Chain A
Amino acid sequence: GAVVSQHPSWVICKSGTSVKIECRSLDFQATTMFWYRQFPKQSLMLMATSNEGSKATYEQGVEKDKFLINHASLTLSTLTVTSAHPEDSSFYICSARPMGRDSYEQYFGPGTRLTVT
């Protein structure tokens, strides 16, 4: 149980275009999902916290107009990288926290590797 999927797993886009990444909790409902970015040989950096039905909370230094987050249902959150640039190339990982659980544990998706050319 507690499986999180991401789509796509790998995407290449041209500079200036936008790309959308989906994060789904497959067998549980999640009121909260988290988006992380990981550059090569670096740790996971939290970008934003996504709450179902409300606006996302962005970490300091993350541009909310560039990284649009939508959490329209209890099983789906999307991250759209707008006007992508090569420096946005990274590994994007989402996680989801099951609704109603006491452990407050997060379950991670497999990640999406974005390459901007």
Chain B
Amino acid sequence: EDKVVQSPLSLVVHEGDTVTLNCSYEVTNFRSLLWYKQEKKAPTFLFMLTSSGIEKKSGRLSSILDKKELFSILNITATQTGDSAVYLCAGQTTSGTYKYIFGTGTRLKVLA
């Protein structure tokens, strides 16, 4: 059965800290790994990773995929209170209709 596991489940840091969120996956016919940020409503897209070892970067956020070890990390540097959210990763399969399998999420709280 396909599954995506994230760690830690929750994390509390202070502004300015750097955090690393982990995502491991077992997805049949894997195509891509995605990261989303969810605050009150629907998830907002952060990254889609399809190739191993190539870092994707957007401002203070970056992410990388390791297809050999089946995991990805999301880094956030110089955290701000606005980064407080649930971060979801999802594995995409090519089976069927390219559906996503979401992980449990990491709840990040950044204290001022």
Contacts and interface: CB of A to CB of B under 8 A. Distances in A.
A110 B41 contact: yes
Contacts, number: 52
Judged by DSSP, the binding face of B is: strand
Given A104-B31, A105-B48, A111-B41, A45 B97 contact: no
Interface string A75-87: 0000000000000
B102 A108 contact: no
B31 to A, nearest CB: 7
A105 B34 CA distance: 9
Interface of B: 31-32, 34, 41-45, 48, 88, 90, 92, 96-105, 107
Interface of A: 32, 34, 36, 41-46, 49, 51, 57, 93, 97, 103-111
